[in-house]
């Protein structure tokens, strides 16, 4: 079974002006697609799911290539769904109540998420996860994903330079601010929380 590049859940220009069609063209059409191609080149007739491959190979340096490509395929698909046209701002529903409960306030969550994204040195990801029944903000380097450590990802933000360089150059904090104010998809976080 070969893995396939999942289509974006919206049109390529749907996140403009915050994320350009040009960025999504490269990020989805080239970067994400390359991880799919690499993974298929490394695995032949593998019947495992992406999640199974990630859990089987995480932390095994002899399987780093397979892990990195599988996790990058998974993380990017999760990231596309973590944004939506007209997204951003305060959450509603169960996630809103749980944010107040576990972080103290929405503003406190925002502060932690911004800090995680801004302080992830080099390439990586900022996450909102459910871990041991509590919401937490975490960051991971490179391709790493909290699900291999037993947490349930609810939202993610790609902070690799290719996610924002064409639109924001080196201004990662401006991209993070825009992600939170104008893009984040709280419906997706609520769906993930409901399934957890
Ligand atoms: Mn990326």
> What is the per-residue pLDDT across 53-95, written as a single tens digit (0 to 9) for each?
999 999 999 999 999 999 999 999 999 999 999 999 999 999 9
Instruction: In whole angstroms, give the CA distance from residue 46 to residue 3.
Output: 10
Domain membership of residue 16 (yes or no) is no
- CA 33 – ligand 1 centroid, Å: 11
Structure token digits, residue 51? 């999640």
- CA 170 – ligand 1 centroid, Å: 15
Domain membership of residue 132 (yes or no) is yes
Residues 129, 175 share a domain: yes
| Mean pLDDT (whole number) for 99-105 | 98
DSSP 7: P
Predicted confidence at residue 1, as pLDDT, reads: 61
Does 149 score more than 90 pLDDT? yes
What is the percent of the chain with per-residue pLDDT over 90, rounded to a whole number? 98
Please name the residue that has the structure tokens 């929405």: 106
Predicted confidence at residue 44, as pLDDT, reads: 85
Q: What does 106-166 look like in DSSP terms, one character per residue?
A: HHHHHHHHHHHHHHS-SSEEEEEEEETTEEEEEEEETT--GGGGT-EEEEEEE-SGGGTHH
Of 155, 154, 147, which Cα lies nearest the Cα of 195?
Answer: 154
pLDDT tier at 52, thresholds 50, 70, 90: very high
- The string of pLDDT tens digits covering residues 108-137 is 999 999 999 999 999 999 999 999 999 999
Residues 105, 170 share a domain: yes
- CA 68 – ligand 1 centroid, Å: 12
Predicted confidence at residue 45, as pLDDT, reads: 84
Domain membership of residue 5 (yes or no) is no
Q: Check whether the bond before 17 is cis (ω within 30° of 0).
A: yes
The CATH number assigned to the domain holding 153 equals 3.55.40.20
Question: The domain containing residue 41 runs over which residues?
Answer: 21-81
- CA 179 – ligand 1 centroid, Å: 14
What dihedral do alpha carbons 50, 52, 129, 15 form, nearest 10°? 0
C-alpha distances in Å from residue 99, one per residue of 24, 103, 135, 139: 30, 6, 7, 18
Residues 113, 65 share a domain: no
- CA 196 – ligand 1 centroid, Å: 25
Residues 99, 74 share a domain: no
8-12, 41-45, 116-120, 178-182: least confidently modelled range? 41-45
- CA 161 – ligand 1 centroid, Å: 8
Residue 105 makes CB contacts below 8 A (sequence gap 6+) with: 99
- CA 144 – ligand 1 centroid, Å: 12
The predicted model scores a pTM of: 0.97
Domain membership of residue 14 (yes or no) is no
């Amino acid at each position: 079974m070969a893995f396939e590049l999942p289509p974006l859940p919206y049109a390529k220009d749907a996140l403009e002006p915050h994320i350009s069609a040009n960025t999504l063209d490269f990020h989805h059409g080239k970067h994400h697609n390359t991880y799919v191609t690499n993974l298929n080149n490394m695995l032949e007739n593998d019947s495992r799911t992406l999640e199974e491959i990630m859990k089987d190979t995480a932390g095994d340096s002899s399987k780093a290539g397979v892990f990195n490509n599988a996790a990058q395929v998974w993380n990017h698909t999760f990231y596309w769904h973590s944004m939506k046209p007209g997204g951003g701002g305060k959450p509603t529903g169960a996630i809103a109540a749980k944010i107040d409960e576990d972080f103290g306030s929405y503003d406190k969550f925002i502060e932690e998420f911004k800090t995680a994204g801004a302080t992830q040195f080099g390439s990586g990801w900022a996450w909102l996860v459910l871990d041991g029944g509590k919401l937490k903000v975490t960051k991971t380097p490179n391709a790493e994903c909290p699900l291999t450590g037993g947490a349930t990802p609810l939202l993610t933000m790609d902070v690799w330079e290719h996610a924002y360089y064409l639109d924001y150059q080196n201004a990662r904090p401006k991209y993070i601010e825009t992600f939170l104010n104008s893009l984040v998809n709280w419906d997706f976080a609520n769906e993930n929380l409901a399934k957890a």
